[in-house]
Structures are given as C-alpha cells and as structure tokens.
Structure 1
C-alpha cells in the first residue's frame, strides 16, 4: 500500500484511552465534552472529546502495533517494524522501566518485514510475531518476554517477575518457539480461552491451526487464499474470519474444510473486526470508503443440526466526509466505535442496535435496548394519549361497556368521538320515530333519508317523491315582492325549538344560517346580536355583530352594491355557516352549489337545505352524489342518507378501512342492523374480529355481554352447547338425552315431593349408574329440564314462566387432579373446614389446588 496509513485502536484494559499511529504514535484520553477545556482536546462526538496525553515519534517504519492486554496503570506497546524488529515502548516513565522492558528489542536472525504482532490474551507474557518469508528462517516467532512460567490467577504480575527476569539475563530475547520455515505469515490471531493455541494465515494459500502443546504443533489446516486480517470471535473460539481482496470468509474450526460463510464486497477489504460486546457482529472496512459495513450473522439450528447461517447487512456512516482508514470497537461499551479518516479526524460513535420489537394485543410495546435491557411502554403510559392509538381507545371504550348501554344515545357519550356521538344520537332519534309510529308504512327499523324519500332506487323511475313548488315571501322584510321558491312535502317541522337549542349550545352561526335558510332574516340578525354580546367570547367569533349589520342591508337587486361586496368578501369569513348563509343570499338562478358543497356545514343541514330548495330531480341527483362522496370518505354522517342498508354496510366498511375502529362498526351492526344484514360476510367478519379482540384483551365479561346482545338480535341462531357431562362408560352426553324423559322414566328418580322435576342417577343411554357423591354417597345427578310453566299462584292466576334450570347445589363438581367429587353444596360445605379430599385414603389437597380458593382466602385475610 502506498503512503502512510493511519490506524486507531482502543486500549483493551483502559476504557477511556486509545492510540493512533502512522508516522508517530499518539495516546488519547476520552473525556465528557463538558470537561474538555484544553486546547489540545478534539471533539470526537456530540458528548465526548479526546485529550492528547502523549506522542511517541521515536520509532520509524512502524508496520503493526499491539497493546499489552493486562490492566496495568501504564500502557506498554509492542511495535513491529519493517526490518522485523519488535520494540517495547511506553509514553514516558512507567513501571515497565524498572524491569527493563521499555526500549527492549526482540530481533529475528534475519531482517524482513514484521506483518503482525499479537499479545496472548490469556498468558500476557507471551508475544507472537508473524514475518515475511526468509529462505532459511522461520516466519512465526514466539517469545516469553518476561521468561517466567504461568502462575496463580492466569497471569504473572510485573512486580512478581522482575527478579526472575534479572536473573535470566540476555536469554529473554530468544524465541521459545519457531514455526513456518521458509514461509510467509500474513496474519495471526490467538484464541481467547486457549493460551497455547493460535491460527495463522500463510503463503497466500493456507490457514493453519497451531497448538504449542502438541509436538506436531500444526493440528489442522485448510487451503484458501483468504489469509489476511485473521480475527477470532471473542464470544466463540471456534469462529473466526479472514479476507482476501473483496471477499470475507467466516470459518468454524470444528469443520475447517471450507468457510461456513462467504461475503462478497464491492471493493477490496482493508480491515475486519468482531464486535466484543455483540454476538456474531462483524465489522468490515473497504478501501476508499467513508462508511463501515456491519454483518450480523444469524445462526440457525434445526433439530440438532446447525444449517448455513444467514446474514443481515447494513452500512453505517460515522459522519466524516473523508474516507475511513481504520476503526476499532470499544472492548466493553456496547456497540461503540472509533473511526479515523484519511485526514486524521477521529469520530467516536455508537452503532444503534437493530431492535426486536413486539407489540402485544394488550397494547404493551417491548423492544430490546442493548444486550441486557428491555424497554416497555404499557397501555397506561401517557404516550398513548399523544399517539391517539386506536387500540388503546377501543379498550377504554370496551371497559366502559361502550355499545352495550340499553339506550342508543348513552353509547354516544362514551365514544370519545364527535362523529360517533352524532351517529348514536341519530340512531336513537330514528328508532324512536319508528317505534312511536311517526313513520307509517316504514318497514326498515332505522331508515335513511333516501329510503324515506323513495330515492334509494327501489322505484322504477329512480325516485317516487312528489313535492309541491311554492313561493314563500320574506315576511319579516316588510316587502311582499321579495320571495324564494321552495319545495314542500306533506309535513312541515317546527323551527323555533331547534334554533333555541342551538343558541343554548352556543352555535350562534349555525342557528343564524338555518334561520336565513328558512327566510327568517330578522330572526337571524337577532341571533347574531345575542351571540355578539354573549359572555362566552372565547368560542364565538368576534365579528358576529358586523355580520348582523351586513345581513340587515340585504337586497335582492342583482346589481346592488351590497350584493357585489358580499360576493367579494364572503370567502374571508372564517365560519362556514356564515359563508353558506351569504352564498344563499347571493345565489343566482337558484344555483346553490356554494351552499351544498360547503364541507364545514353539517351533512344533515345540507340535506335539509337540499330538500327545501332543490327540485325532485336535482334533489335525487344531489343525494346520490353526496352519498357516494361520504361513502368514499368513510364519513359516518352518511348513515343519515343510507340508513341500515347495504349502502350503510359499504360506508361502515370504508370507515373501518380508514380508522381501524372494528369495535364501533360491530356494535352498530349488532344494535341497528336487521337480521338479514347481519348475515352479510363483511358484517360477520367485523363481529368475529371484535370477538377475537376482546378475547385477546381477556375482557371475558364484555365478550359475554356482546354475545348476549348478538344472540338477542338473532334468536334463531343460538350457539351450540360446548360443555356437557358425559358418561364414563359409553361416553355419551347425559344432557343430550334430556328430550326423551318420558321414554326413559325408569332411569330417573323423583326429587322429594316435586313431580315436575326429575333427577338423573344413571346414564339414559347405557343405564350405568353415575358416580357417587363423596359426601352423601348417593349417585350424583341433577334435576333436568325447565320448571313447569303452568304453575298457579295463590290468586289462581298463572305464575310467570320460569326458565331456571337445576339449582347450583345439585351440580356436579370434582377435583381435576384426583377426580373425586360430589354435589356442589356438599363439597362447598366440606371444604369450609377441610383442605384435603373427603375420599378415604386420598391425600390430595384439592382446595389448595384451586386458584379461585386462593384468591378468596387472600381477600378473607385482608378483610
């Protein structure tokens, strides 16, 4: 490689120090940015800075460097040079000076380039060097730099070996082992748990595993050109990686014939490094690249076999615009990287983990945060209020029995949504009108406007409504010549009470606009004036009195100045109802498009306006267009037009697609749809999905109430019996034989003096006796069938029909462990005073196995 390459390396034992080297070697200390006040400090991230502690420029032609891997207070470096020498150096006076290591040189017999130098991570006295080829010399040299055996805790401290080293004299510079005669060593890496084993990349054609305890030394090898940059996985000694040109190979020493994984890159690889804090994460650097590539190797095991791993790859950009020349993982801080660029700038960055995210049906979000931490957001977290999450909203509604209240309007108060509230209120009003007989001849329980006007396509000509066109004067203007053409049906509704209600709610603009639509201009002006002096100034526009003044000058003269000013200024009004009112007053040739298409005006008001001022054909066309538009938007206000029809189903389906509110569409269908619509495929899918949702939330009570309401809508579709008692001999259901009491009367015994209820004591199918009660020793059995509905009371009148089945006291009950049991009343009485099974010689403590009894006992103790 031409030029000097800058390298960076974290200290393996000093978490806040690292070195850089090229033409000179520099030692840095990482500080929080707020504590870095010296001019020599370099900002390396948004939170940290690097303080230059020392620089060593006395060594030239440096080819490789490694840091002494033991936690000494000072840093000792082993430097491999171009002439093959290995020099020990420090930054200033250290404890290593006293034992003669500082400045010590290890010299091979023949000069050639040193390609790699590596301290043993287990026995730190051992140092291995890999050299270029020499015809009659070895390329792998192993030194014991302190010339002392391994003792105690796996390392020999510097203080403990000083005396022995001084006794050994010059013999300490001789290698204790030599390998690779007339070969070239390109890379070398020690294993992390085996102090006498390492792997070599040699001669551009071999990887060799070496065990110094073996007389043969070379214990395994494999032919490959991928012999550069050998690194051993710090978490798995059997996994290592190497590269050649643009190809990275991942090896498993247990199956060393071929690489388990080959990664092909776009450019030549210059460095690879395993992450020491993250399993199976390999970082790689390409030549002339401003980014680092990460390879997340996913190991897969099927049965007892480990299949070929898969790889998730991604690229990280540290933020520098220059090409990166080297990088180093921090030895202990999770996913922390140092990068150095061609310009010498250093970047301290953290690789954000590819998180695993899980979202439970109960709205709990859990994700990984590093190796040892999980973060959780529960459904009670305040963030859900900001997110407006539909699932959390549905759960809150379900807990408040939303949709299950007896009166339809009560459900609107629980909806937490204005459109839903209006819809439930409208359904309540519509049902009341039908039930009270105000809509004669209406078969639909909740009809829509188009159904009432016979404009739903049921008639042959598309609509059957016939209205009378009349001219109504502006009576409060004092000029009988002013009039408007309207279309009137058989009935007219009272307006005063409705306007009073709108004023009471503070909807002055809406009340004034509706008064204008009903040709009561003076009343509209009075409403606006009252709104202008209202004390609730914050929610009411401040220009209502000005609008009232503008209305008072109304003129139907097409060329008047008033009309021209209104046309120019109408769009500047912030209130849509006021814009609609002036659009009505300035309309030409009965063209009311600006009123009918004002989206800020409620759908019911626009429909009422259309019914008043549009002819039958135009009304039919407008309602059809409006229905289509509202259906496409999923606007629930469209139910006013469609009612409970197939068009209503389509609108609710679109609303569901937009909002995900499966709860509301299911409850609306159950509470409002006729039985034939409930059988539609889409409606059944809503109901099934909502039931599944309630089950996932463990809201069993709400699910049961929902099913009760559902069964009330479809009394003929009763769910099949799912739980029953079966005979131990023939396996037949005992309750399934209830219909044949008269034919099997011999299988029953009378209960006391009651002739209407019979008690089974044997199987109606095989006549085998039922088990005996462990307390009373009588064959168990429960009274079957309903009580007689023809009972008379003391007044001689028929009593109310009773659907009460057998009393709970006679029900079967038994322990799921020992299978002993009896009548429910008897077992309850027994376990009030005992915890052990009543059957002789049975030592099962049935009561302690019952979770319900544990809860009850806890509650009792607390009380």
Structure 2
C-alpha cells in the first residue's frame, strides 16, 4: 500500500473485501488481528483489524469511476468508467463471469468523452448506468443490459446534448434514476419511459447525488460547501440545506443506519456526520458531528461497510487506509428505580439494576439514598442514630451536632423557635448587629506545660464561647482532665496527629511530645523538634520550623507548628488549614481569637461554606433561614435531596418548615419514596413531619354509597341527630341500602369488628381495630373486591374476578403484584 490511492470502496456483497483505486486498482481482504502476532503480509487498519493484498489490476490508466457488482454470492466484478467514456467490466483473475462472457466486456458510447459516474442497479444487477460529459449529438446517460442475447446492449439513452455530473438508482422504485445534469438540474427518469422525465428540480447542487437506502423518498446532493437533502414527494426544492465550512468532495448514506449521511470536505482530516431526523410530514431537522479516523494526513475518500453497523474505511493522500467504528451518540435512560437502559445503534442494551457492580463505579446518589431509606435513615428518634446509618463523615457530623444542640437547649432551657442553634446564634451574632458578640470575652494568659517559664498563650473565655465550644465537641479545651481523656480517646482511635494537635492547642506540650515519641519513627523526629519550642521570635528553632512546616504531609502537624510559630497572635496559617475539620478550626478560633477577629473569621467562613455547599456550615448558621442557601447549594452539588429534606423536617422551626422551599424539598423526597415503593418509610416520614407542622394533609379518599352517592363516613353522621353512633355501619346512613359484600365470604363492608380484646389499640380509646387482612380491597376496573386475606387467597389459584359473570382479569391489571 505504498503507492498513491485516492479512493476506497467496500464491496457491497463481501463483508471482508474492499478495493482502493487511483493509478491502479487493488483488492484487499480484511481479518481480525490475532493477539500480538504480526504478519508481514498484512497491513494494519486499526487496533483490531488488518488487511492483506489479494490482487492488483494496473491495466486501466485513466480511471474516473468504479463500482462493484451488487449480486450476492458473486465474485468481485468491477465496472470501470474511463476518461474516453468506455465502461469496462473486469475481475481480479479467473471467475464465474468468464463463462458468462462478462469479464473483459467493454461498453463504448458513440462518441468518446469522459465518464463521470458508473452505477449498478441494486434491484436489477444486470443493468448498469453511466453518466458522461456533454456531446452535441449524443446522450449523456446510457444504461446497458450486460446479459442481453447480443452482449451488452443499450436499453436506455437519456439527456441528448446534456452533461451528467452524477446519478443514482432509487432503491424502492424499480428502474428509476435520478441524474444531476448541466450544473442546473436534478432529473428523475423512469426507464420504462425514458423520453419523459418523471419530475425535476432546478438546482446547482447536482454533484454526488445519492439515495438513502432506508428511505423511499430521501436523496442528497452537494455543491461546493453546501449539502442539499431532497424528498422526491416534494421535489421542487430541498427540504434541508446544510452549510459547511469547506467545499464538499464526497457524500454517502450509511447503509446500516436510518438517515445517517456522511460527508467529506476538501483538505480535512475529519469526516462529518449528519443525522437527518424527520419531525413531521416533509419537516426535517439535523444533528451534526465530526469524527477523526485517527490519521495525520488529509482524507481523500471514505466508504461505509455494507453490514457492520457504523463501520467505515477512510483513505489518505499517502494511501494509508484506516478502519474506524463510529462511536454512537447514546440515548441514556435512567429509571426512577435506578435502573439504566441505553441504546446503541440498532441494538438496545438490557437494563442495569442498582445491584450491579457498575454502580460502585458510578457513585449513583439515588441508589445510595434508596439504600439509606431501607435502613430507616432519618426516622430514628435519637439524632446520632441516624448518623450511624451513613458512611459520609459530613452527614455524621451534622447528626452529632443536631443531637448536641438538642441537649444544649434542654440543659440551658433555651426557649427559642428553633432548638438547633448555630454558633453564630449562641455568640449573639445573628441578632441586630452580626458584627459583634453579645458577651465581651476575657483574655487570660495561660502557660505552656512543658516549655520555659516565660512561654504563655493568650486564651479568650466567656460563657457564650464555652457554649459554642460544646457545639464543636471541644468543651474539654479548658479542662485538663477532660483534655487528657479526649487525647487518649483520639489516640485509641488511631488519630494520633489530631490528638497531638488537641494537646498542643490545650497547651500540654509534654503530652504531645510523649504521643509523638511513642508513635512512628517519623513522628519521633517531629517530637524532637517540638521539644525545642521557644517563644523567641528570632530563635533558630522558629526559623527552622517555619521553613520545614509546609513539607509536612499531615494538616494537624502543620497546624501545630503554625500555632507555635505564630507572630503576635496571628493564627491565619492555622485557620486557613482547609484539610483540618471545620469544627476543629472553629474551636481553635473560639479559644484564641479576640472578639473582633472571631467575628470577622466566622463571617468569612460562613460565606465560604455556603458557597461550597459544605454541610459543616450548618454548625455556624444553625437551622435558621441562613441555612436555606447552604442546603440548596449542597443539594445542587450532590443531588442528596434525602438528607436535605430530613434535616429540614427534623431541624427547622415550624414557621421555616412551612416555607415554600422547605416544602418543595420535602415533596420531592416524598415522590422519591413513592417511586421506590417504600410505603412504610413514606408513612413514617409523613407522621414525623405532620407532628411538627400545622399544615395538615387534605382528605383525598372518600367512601360513598353506590346508590345515593353520599358519604358513608360515620364521623360525619355522628354530628347529626340520626340514630347512628360513631361506629362502623353495614348500610348507608342515608338511603339504608346495604354496603357491598365481600366477594368470597359475602359479609357486608362495615360489619362491626370481630377482633378480640387483645387487638385493642390503647391509643384509639379502646376501640377494636381490624387487622389488615380484614380490610376491604377492590379492583379499580370492575370495582369488585372483599377482605384482603380472602382476595389474596382467591388469586393464588385464579386470574379472573371471583364475582360470578365478571370476566375481569383483576390480577393481571395489578402491576404491583409483578414487582420483584
């Protein structure tokens, strides 16, 4: 494949053969690669396919057009249009066409001129059409029958003194040609009456005319940099015109896809694809894209594979041929039940359920939410128990905070609309002046334990700061026994570096040094550095720690040395250590920042966490209106409407819970539960929600008499003076007609409960409550039914309704009964 070949063509009847042609014609056979074995007589087409040269024909030097005979089961037979107008039939060696006298046959026009196009008829493979240049006394379109008794015989002549630039056979219209002529006309010709044009259209887009293989009406042609799409039912003008950036050199319909047109532009390395979509009658739209077959040179031609979907060959100026599969634009359908279905060309892949291992890679939040819901997430009475049902540390943090704020409200008898206060509210920053703290803090100098006698740190204390530290779970910072217990607990959990930071922030250097010395060898070296602590701003120790601090990988160790080397109580390096937990940074600020710096830092941190959608920001905002934008940003980032709805239901005060945004989140989560058929979880969620809001659900179901159509609710009639007490009744209180009977046992609906005293519900005033198996159910189509247990038993052995004469197949109408 070293010589120049400008054109490539798949055989229409051989899935593994193609030809290339330019100065000579070559036949290749394709095959799949066998592992890493490289065969010297094969050339690579792609990573998975290669081709072997079978034969070469160099007998024709002025080839202008080539087409391959389309008869299935036959060998390769070429029709070659030449510069002198001659159309020659040839093969690549001995074949069955030799016995038929076809191989070597020449079809010569009356007057020599260039042949622009040759095309075999798909419906009648013995016919071949040729389009020629103009001659003043000859036709430009000739059709031969290669199997006539006298050899190749002209069966039709068309276009006297005209020029044929291109032509195509219509696949579903027997013996009908469409010809692009004279730079101004597309003409449809029926060979049964070639003297009369069936219809025509005035246009300059007369090049490359080609018929869509899967459409009875659609054509395409081109002129310079525009592609025209035609519908022969309305042939006056194109139904669609596609403008391109460069002149077109070739267009081809894909034979394996409906209405997919490929086009090639001059001096490009890409092939352009046009998906022609018919919206309504004669109304079309197009979706366009381009593909690059992986070549570094300009493409001169391409050819679609006749059978393999979305496969094509492309050839470059240097003669390099590549075998390419067009990646399909997938239509992805993600079901509410978390199953996935997508289409790929003419094949539809089966659904992938949430139990498939692929979901571990997808990280689908809907599947995760469903799993949490089945575990009872959000319905536990103790806040922390909900956190135990999730793996996300941020969610665990918020549930611990909700539990802590609830206990804090009970401890300090906080009588506010919300019991889940944020640190800003505890400090008094959410009142009229958010730029200050309600209680002035006291600055105290506290010495380091384990450093020189002149090593002190300025610590700020106040009642509101102590309360805020409890919300961060850092109440131990000013109590030595609790501090040592917290350090020991963190060490036992394997969080050594955090335990070291807690000890240092608690000014217990000796404890921190012992922790590091008993840990890894790397930590032993750090303990030696820590033991040399000095508060001298010009000491060699301080300069060395500042230089090497950023080389540490652990954020808590970086924060420790940033704290010890801070200049004039400037702790920005500690507070901006984003890899530290937000609560740890807030607790440090509560202990070591002055009132003004603390307010400035908390305002800045609140804004940042809100923009990031970080749930840790709830510790600052509390369950107040300030939490709404934060929760919305978290929802937009993660799609976790479940947690947002549950936090809203559990934590918001009634006035905020009834806001439009909160109710929208809750309604969205309810719909999800309904889609997942988690009816019990939905009912429990509604019970907890309705207990915290004055928005009561409206009655949606009414039981009415089928005779007088009035309500059968005994609650409504107990307010009247009628003789019916507030109990179940077996007849209509208005018309006295009996209520429907169970189709199986024939007992009327409304018959007093027969349950024994053990089924009494103490919360229902001692009334006897029927078990669910004694409740009435009915078919939504035929309206027949009865006690649930009787209906279930009936349909274990039957498909039709139990009522005599009713042919309704109730069970087959119940989609829920088929749910696995």
Task: Determine the structure 2 residue equivalent to 1:450.
Answer: 424
Task: Determine the structure 2 residue equivalent to 1:524.
Answer: 512
Distance between the aligned counterparts of 1:290 and 1:585, measured in 2?
62
What does 1:551-590 correspond to in 2, within 5 Å?
A: 551-590=530-569
Task: Determine the structure 1 residue equivalent to 2:783.
Answer: 819
Is 1:465 the counterpart of 2:439 in the alignment?
yes
TM-score normalised by L of structure 1: 0.82
Secondary structure of 1:706's counterpart equals helix
Distance between the aligned counterparts of 2:105 and 2:651, measured in 1?
93
Secondary structure of 2:584's counterpart equals helix
CA positional deviation for 1:675: 1.4
What does 1:154-173 correspond to in 2, within 5 Å?
A: 168=149, 171-173=150-152
What does 1:197-208 correspond to in 2, within 5 Å?
A: 197-208=176-187
Task: Determine the structure 1 residue equivalent to 2:573.
Answer: 594
Task: Determine the structure 2 residue equivalent to 1:724.
Answer: 702
From the superposition, tell whether residues 137 and 567 of structure 1 become closer, same or farther in structure 2 (CA, over 3 Å): closer
From the superposition, tell whether residues 145 and 426 of structure 1 become closer, same or farther in structure 2 (CA, over 3 Å): same
Secondary structure of 1:527's counterpart equals helix
CA positional deviation for 1:276: 0.9
Secondary structure of 2:14's counterpart equals coil
Output the aligned Cα RMSD.
Answer: 3.8
CA positional deviation for 1:632: 3.3
Task: Determine the structure 2 residue equivalent to 1:343.
Answer: 318
Task: Determine the structure 2 residue equivalent to 1:308.
Answer: 283
Tell me whether 439-448 or 22-31 shows the greater mean CA deviation: 439-448
From the superposition, tell whether residues 8 and 550 of structure 1 become closer, same or farther in structure 2 (CA, over 3 Å): closer
Runs of 5+ unmatched residues, structure 1: 148-167, 533-540, 751-755, 859-863
Q: Deviations over 1:582-614 (max 9, x none)?
A: 333344433333333333443333333333334
CA positional deviation for 1:400: 1.8
Distance between the aligned counterparts of 1:131 and 1:314, measured in 2?
34
What does 1:236-385 correspond to in 2, within 5 Å?
A: 236-301=215-280, 306-374=281-349, 376-385=351-360
Task: Determine the structure 1 residue equivalent to 2:25.
Answer: 25
Q: Is the 8 A contact 1:446 1:644 kept in 2?
A: yes
From the superposition, tell whether residues 671 and 257 of structure 1 become closer, same or farther in structure 2 (CA, over 3 Å): same
- The structure that has the greater radius of gyration is 1
Of 422, 430, 453 in structure 1, the residue corresponding to residue 405 of structure 2 is 430
Distance between the aligned counterparts of 1:24 and 1:347, measured in 2?
19
Task: Determine the structure 2 residue equivalent to 1:400.
Answer: 375
Question: How many residues matched?
Answer: 796
What does 1:828-847 correspond to in 2, within 5 Å?
A: 842-844=805-807
What does 1:438-837 correspond to in 2, within 5 Å?
A: 438=412, 444-457=418-431, 462-474=436-448, 482-489=455-462, 493=479, 494-530=482-518, 532=519, 542-714=521-693, 716-735=694-713, 738-746=715-723, 748=724, 757=727, 759=729, 761-764=731-734, 767=735, 769-773=737-741, 780-781=749-750, 801-802=765-766, 812-821=776-785
CA positional deviation for 1:852: 9.2
Task: Determine the structure 2 residue equivalent to 1:127.
Answer: 128
Distance between the aligned counterparts of 2:219 and 2:134, measured in 1?
24
CA positional deviation for 1:233: 1.7
Secondary structure of 2:720's counterpart equals coil
From the superposition, tell whether residues 517 and 251 of structure 1 become closer, same or farther in structure 2 (CA, over 3 Å): closer
Q: Is the 8 A contact 1:694 1:700 kept in 2?
A: yes
TM-score normalised by L of structure 2: 0.86
Distance between the aligned counterparts of 2:370 and 2:771, measured in 1?
36
Q: Is the 8 A contact 1:412 1:425 kept in 2?
A: yes
CA positional deviation for 1:431: 1.8
CA positional deviation for 1:443: 6.8
Tell me whether 182-191 or 820-829 shows the greater mean CA deviation: 820-829
Distance between the aligned counterparts of 2:197 and 2:69, measured in 1?
26
Distance between the aligned counterparts of 1:443 and 1:250, measured in 2?
68
CA positional deviation for 1:617: 3.9
Q: Deviations over 1:328-375 (max 9, x none)?
A: 222112222222333333233222223222223333333222322436
Distance between the aligned counterparts of 1:203 and 1:470, measured in 2?
100
Q: Is the 8 A contact 1:774 1:838 kept in 2?
A: no
Secondary structure of 2:513's counterpart equals helix
